[in-house]
Amino acid sequence: MLDYHDLYLPYVSKVRELKNTTLYGSRTLFFLTKQGTLKPLVIELTRPIIGDKPQWKQIFTPASDSTNLWLWRLAKTHVLAHDTGYHEIISHWLRTHCVVEPFVIATNRQLSTMHPIYKLLHPHLRYTLEINSLGRQILTSAYGVIEDTFFTKKYSMELSSVAYDKLWQFDLQGLPNDLIHRGMAVEDSNAQHGLKLAIEDYPFANDGLLIWDAIKQWVTDYVNHYYPSPSIIESDQELQAWWTEVRTKGHSDKSEEPWWPNLKTQKDLVDIITTIAWIASAHHSATNFAQYAYGGYFPNRPTIARNNMPTEDPTKEEWEKFVNKPEQTLL
């Protein structure tokens, strides 16, 4: 299920006060076919109580008659906009750009340039702050590209912050834990990479796990070379100060969360470094470089839906216009 109900619903009334955009809370149910592809079966769109208007909610399904077929297409367009916005604002901007900044800052503050972990992390972090600075000037700034072209408009960065508060956990950012958490894999010691995928034809997981394993093996060899015993890790003052700053200053509002890993053993350090390297390299590449291939053709990945569904409180004239020329409503 693709669930954008709880995260988006509090923003529906806010977004609808803005011009040339609209929003619903949405849930989409998919069926996994024998061919290994996902087929959308049901879309639920919800408008909460707004002023004197009661809650509006409707289920849409595939249809063969013309009117309901166009309603299904429109419902899919809304969900595509929701998914595109989530991808850009949360999966890409939040999870690969923003959350890495505390690691960059702590690495430069607490680790000597001669420190082995500094040398290991530096290639992954070297341009992050510069890229993010440019992004804040052009993309995520007030009246910037994101606010101008995505359905969330001026609430885009606020929504990103809410998603960070509600959804982000460091221990779920590594690919295996991410897949398990999202129900896309289960642990299986007999399977390749120790995971059995829910969908076999899943390039992000299939290719990503190869990269994850390669990163982890390299980090493991590197860490074991410089830290042959746990006592060296615990007594490394720079390393411990680095990890403390990441948690207590970089992610201070989450500093007391129980899911932060300890930094006492080689395995602890390997897991932490592998996760950071994954976020800053392969995870970012997956969410960034394929954007034009999917979104260059706007109807395939719309960033905004400007009109409400025709079945939501329609006037007689609006309904007749939709029935007679549904393609105009869609486009």
Q: Please give the Cα distance from 82 to 159 (Å, whole number).
A: 12
Q: What is the share, in percent, of the chain residues with pLDDT greater than 90? A: 93
Q: Is 134's pLDDT higher than 90? A: yes
Q: Is 166 exposed, middle or buried (0-12, 13-18, 19+ CB in 10 A)?
A: exposed
Q: What does the pLDDT look like over 22-31, one tens digit per residue?
A: 999 999 999 9
First to last CA, the chain: 26
Q: Is the pLDDT assigned to residue 330 strictly greater than 90?
A: no
CA distances from 283 to 41, 91, 241 (A): 29, 9, 27
Residue pair 26/78 in contact by the 8 Å Cβ criterion? yes
Locate tokens 């004197």: which residue? Answer: 52
List the domains of the chain with CATH numbers.
1-90+301-330 (3.10.450.60), 92-297 (1.20.245.10)
Helix axes 101-110, 116-125, angle to 10 degrees: 150
DSSP states along 202-222: -HHHHHHHHHHHHHHHHHHHH
Distance between CA 31 and CA 61 in Å, rounded?
13
Of the listed ranges 27-31, 197-201, 220-224, the least confidently predicted one is 197-201
Q: Which residue, among 171, 187, 176, has the nearest Cα to 262 in the 3D structure?
A: 171
Cα distances from 208 to residues 131, 213, 268, 294, in angstroms, run: 23, 9, 21, 19
Q: Give the pLDDT mean for 49-61.
A: 96
Mean pLDDT, range 73-94, rounded to an integer: 97
Pairing of strands 25-32, 2-4: antiparallel
Dihedral sign for Cα 96, 98, 100, 104, please. positive
Mean of the pLDDT values across residues 282-305? 93
pTM over the 0.85 mark:
yes
